[in-house]
Amino acid sequence: MIQEHIHFPLERNAVTALLRQRSITPTRQRQEIAHFLFQKQQHLSAEHILDNVNALGSTVSRATVYNTMALFARKGLIREVLVDRERIFYDTNTRPHHHIYNMDTGELSDVDAAANIDETSSLGLPEGFHVVETEVVIKVSQK
């Protein structure tokens, strides 16, 4: 995963340059989605992206949002955070870190990666294998 730091917010010309840098054709829909995403560091669902991009005056379809987010994740622009089978968040912070998911509010928060799992622990990895990446989602509730 490419882990360059993005300085938020990104202006439209910076969004276009970023897409081209990652070999992503900057279609109007991709530019609109990326411009919305990179206004701040955030965790967003596809529905939230769809609703907000369309509310800002663009017209993008649900399929376009899902396809664009999958492309952005493959190209290292964002991270997909799978909370459970029904909840995927798209994270604009691509640096190594973990998450806390508040089951009461539906909010996803970052946790510093300093709480990383020790790669030398007894994980039972087959000989010759090593940990490439660790991502932890901690689910919390007050109920």
Better pLDDT: 17 or 127: 17
- Cα 30 from Cα 51, distance rounded (Å): 15
Percent of the chain with pLDDT over 70: 90
Which of 142, 53, 141, 132 has its CA nearest to residue 90?
53
Q: How far is CA 122 from the centre of its chain?
A: 30
Contact 72, 24 (CB under 8 A): yes
What CA–CA distance (Å, rounded) separates 67 from 89? 14
Considering the domain delimited by 12-90, tell me its CATH architecture. Orthogonal Bundle (1.10)
Paired with 139 in beta bridges are 101
**Could you state, in order of their start, the residue ranges of all structural domains in the chain?**
12-90, 95-140
* Residue 57 backbone phi and psi in degrees, to 5: 105, 0
pLDDT above 80: residue 115 = no
Q: Where are the alpha helices (DSSP H) in 1-143?
A: 12-21, 28-37, 46-55, 62-74
Q: Give the separation between CA 112 and CA 41, rounded to whole angstroms.
A: 14
pTM of the model: 0.86
Please determine, for residue 120, whether its predicted confidence score (pLDDT) is greater than 50.
Answer: no
> Considering Cα of 28, then 62, then 56, then 94, what sign does the dihedral take?
negative
* Lowest model confidence (mean pLDDT) among 24-28, 80-84, 93-97: 93-97
